[in-house]
Amino acid sequence: MTVRISGFTFVRDAVRLGYPILPAVRSILPLVDELVVNVGVSSDGTLDLVRSLGDPRLVVIESRWDEALLERGRVLAQQTDLALARCTGDVCLCVQADEVLHEDDHPAVRQALARLHDDPRLEGLLFDYVHFYGSFHTVGVSRRWYRREIRAVRNRAGVRSWRDAQGFRVGPGEDARKLRVTPSGGRMFHYGWVRPPDAQRVKLAEFERLYHGDAARQQRLAAGFSYDVREKVRPFRGTHPAPMRDWVSREDWAFEPRPALLRPGHFREDLLDLFEAATGVRIGEYRNYELVR
């Protein structure tokens, strides 16, 4: 049986906040039969930018964010759900506006999407994450970076975006059930922490507003921002996804990390990082899923 695949995402103020929305959606376009993009009302040309993709599979919906849902980032899950609800495919592949799927992984992901459709035990697929921090040449390696998350789900199965849209669950509220998932073989490259420092300050201020209101946004703007040179990173030796390469070539700021094994105020976290580096085991890892092999 042929499987119909929908891609979906949401975005607002992509131009002003420096989200690579076009590389993000282009990275999954070869895998999908339709691409649903939920564009929040923006004043910076985001809607025109999304429409410039110019692909017949593109389905644009427009929404106005509910300011009453700003607490703890719940509006992000609501906007994800609006895009998911518009999908007509049997399975749905999500990419967030600062995530890009590597084209080398398309064959594995395509097979996994077919399995998701055919295997009644499965409700979703896990993707491995590569989190860039500070520059396009350094990758976060501490336990504060999640290693994998759900980015494909079976459609019409009661699946909803969970909390602040990091992942998905089945059913409403805090009692929602974890999805049964299997690895996809795909890598999501996450670019949420790699912008010019002043642009990152503005982006983080907007996130403060989504979680804590406008006063928190103003405080973040006033505080300024610089990348933490003590952040645990390693050099990135691979290739970026093709849709991101022009974006990467425009990097014009310097980040010179000096990561420390033990940092004041992070002693427990640093010890757990050392244990993970030695054993490959992440103690107490948050897993928003039930793994099915």
DSSP string for 196-228: -HHHHHHHHHHHHHHHH-HHHHHHHHHH-----
Report how far residue 150's alpha carbon sits from residue 291's, in angstroms, rounded to the nearest whole number: 11
Q: Answer yes or no: is pLDDT of 244 > 70.
A: yes
**Alpha-carbon span 30 to 22, nearest angstrom:** 14
Mean pLDDT value across residues 260-289: 87
Does residue 292 fall inside a structural domain? no
Strands 177-178 and 180-193: unpaired
The token duo for 161 is 């975006």
Which tokens is 245 given?
Answer: 């390469």
201 inside domain: yes
Tokens of 61: 């919906």
CB neighbours (10 Å) of residue 14?
23
Contact 194, 157 (CB under 8 A): no
Of the pLDDT bands very low, low, confident and very high (cuts 50, 70, 90), residue 70 is low
Percent pLDDT > 70 in the chain is 98
Structure tokens that stand for 205 in this block: 């201020």
Positions of E strands within 57-137 = 58-63, 91-94, 99-101, 124-133
Average the pLDDT over 232-255 and give the result: 96
**What is the separation of C-alpha 247 from the centre of its chain, rounded to a whole number of angstroms?**
17
Residue 7 CA, chain-centre distance (Å), reads: 14
Helix (H) or strand (E) holding 273: helix 267-279
What confidence tier does 254 reach under pLDDT thresholds 50, 70, 90? very high
- Does any domain span residue 18? yes
Q: Is residue 289 part of a domain?
A: no
Average pLDDT taken over every residue of the chain: 94
- Domain-located, residue 37: yes
β-strand pairing of 177-178 with 167-170? antiparallel
pLDDT of residue 1: 62
The residue type of 20 is P
- Rounded Cα distance between 254 and 214, Å, is 30
* Helix ranges, 120-196 (H): none
Q: What is the pLDDT of residue 99?
A: 98
Residue 251 covered by a domain: yes
Q: How high is the pLDDT of residue 93?
A: 98
- The structural domain count of the chain equals 1
288 is a domain residue: no
Helix, strand, coil percentages in the chain from 3-state DSSP, rounded to 5:
35, 25, 40
pLDDT digits (tens, 9 = 90+) for 193-232: 999 999 999 999 998 888 888 898 999 999 989 999 999 9
CB-based contacts of 198, cutoff 8 Å, min separation 6: 225
Determine the residue type at 115.
R
- Domain containing 102 — which CATH number? 3.90.550
Residue 143's domain spans which residues? 1-281
Please report whether residue 183 resides in a domain.
yes
